[in-house]
Amino acid sequence: MRSLLLPCFLVLFLVGGCYTKPVRHLASDAALIKPGQSTATDVLQYLGEPDGRREVGPGVVEYVYFEDRPGFLGGVPMVGRLSRSSGYEMIIITLEEDLVQHAKFRSFSKDDHRWMNDYTWEPIQ
């Protein structure tokens, strides 16, 4: 019985490592959206449901897509979800009357605000 326990455990461990969560690649997905040509249906087809949506004005809507970038060990099964994010990516799409007007891709690093620690702050007078 013990001789069977170890191989079963190893098989379960290895099969668990094969599980992958579907990943969005926002940088390449942003290239599929063409301002002035793509419609809201195209955006939903390529990117799926937005992570955020807001009405900017009459007939103008913004969709926001947001994705954390995995850290150093982010792609390692079982351990990856414990690693911290190295930053995040965002696409902001502006639709007017169901037609894409602007599509902006932005990438942020966790170190973007590190300058604030080294800056000499002076009081406002």
**Each residue's pLDDT tens digit, 49-62:** 999 999 988 999 99
pLDDT greater than 80 at residue 35: yes
For the entire predicted model, the pTM comes to 0.64
Give one DSSP letter per residue of 2-42, joined into a string: HHHHHHHHHHHHHHHTT-------HHHHHHT--TTT-BHHH
User: Is 38 within 8 Å of 100 (Cβ atoms)?
Assistant: yes
pLDDT greater than 70 at residue 30: yes
User: Is 55 within 8 Å of 61 (Cβ atoms)?
Assistant: yes
Banded model confidence at residue 64, pLDDT cuts 50, 70, 90: very high
Average pLDDT in the 88-104 region?
91
What residue ranges define each of the domains in the chain, with the CATH number in brackets?
21-110 (3.30.1450)
If phi > 0 it is left, if psi is from -120 to 50 it is alpha, else beta; for residue 80 that is alpha
Task: Pick 86 or 34 by higher pLDDT.
Answer: 34
